[in-house]
């Protein structure tokens, strides 16, 4: 449906910014992520950043794994 990639914001000037993705960089529009600044990771789709990525917002993965690993009963 939509390719989106996690990119690192390198610079921001108003609504326009430069992001990096594993050594490649390009201009993207940051209008929809007003709080994003250099050092933030953003999700980019078709030249537009759609969301700030929060690695800390991890799913309760451990709980899910434990539940998955537990015997059914």
Partner 1 sequence: MKRVLLAHGDGGLYAAALLKTLFLRYFNSQELARLSDAALLPAVEGRLAVTTDSFVVQPVFFPGGDIGKLAVCGTVNDLTAAGARPLYLTASFILEEGLALDELEAVVASLSATAEACGVQVVAGDTKVVPRGQADKVYINTTGIGLADPRLVLGAERVTPGAAVILSGTAGDHGIAVLSCRDGISFRTPVKSDCAPLNRLLESVSPYYPAISWMRDPTRGGVGAVLNELAESGAADIVVEESLLPIRPEVKAASELLGLDPLYLANEGKMVIVVDENVAHNVCSALRAHPLGRDAEIIGRVEKGNGSVWLRTRLGGTRAVEMPAGLPLPRIC
Partner 2 sequence: MQTAAELSFAQRLLTLIMKRVSGPLVIMEVCGTHTTAVSRYGLRPLLEPLRLLSGPGCPVCVTASGDLDRMIALAGSGAIVATFGDLLRVPGNGTSLEQAQAAGADVRVVYSPLDAVRIAAENRDRPVVFLGVGFETTAPGLALAVKQAERESLGNFYLYSCLKTVVPALQALLTGDAPGLDGLLLPGHVSSVIGRQAQDFVASVHGVPAAVTGFTESDILLGLAAVILMIEKGEPGVVNAYPRVVREAGNVTAQKLLSEVFAAADAEWRGLGSIPGSGLTLRPQFARHDAALHFDLPQPQPAQQAKEEPCRCGDVLRGAIIPPECALFAGRCTPLYPLGPCMVSSEGACAAYYRYERKKGAVPA
Residue ranges that bind partner 1, judged by CB under 8 A: 1-3, 5, 21-26, 45-46
Q: Work out which of 13, 14, 39, 61 binds partner 2, going by CB under 8 A.
A: 61
Among 39, 62, 72, 73, the residue binding partner 2 under the rule CB under 8 A is 72
Per CB under 8 A, the list member of 24, 54, 62, 73 interacting with partner 2 is 54
Nearer to partner 2, 13 or 72 (CB): 72
Helix (H, G, I), strand (E, B) or coil at 55: coil
Q: What is the DSSP letter of 30?
A: -
- Distance, in Å, from the CA atom of 44 to the CA atom of 33, rounded to the nearest integer, reads 11
CA 28, CA 46: separation in Å to the nearest integer? Answer: 9
């Amino acid at each position: 449906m939509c390719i989106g990639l996690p990119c690192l914001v390198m610079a921001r000037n108003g609504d326009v910014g430069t992001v990096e993705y594993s050594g490649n960089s390009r201009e993207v529009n940051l209008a929809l992520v007003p709080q994003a600044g250099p050092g933030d990771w953003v999700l980019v789709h078709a030249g537009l950043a759609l969301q700030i990525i929060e690695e800390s917002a991890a799913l309760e993965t451990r709980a899910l794994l434990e539940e998955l690993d537990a015997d059914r009963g």
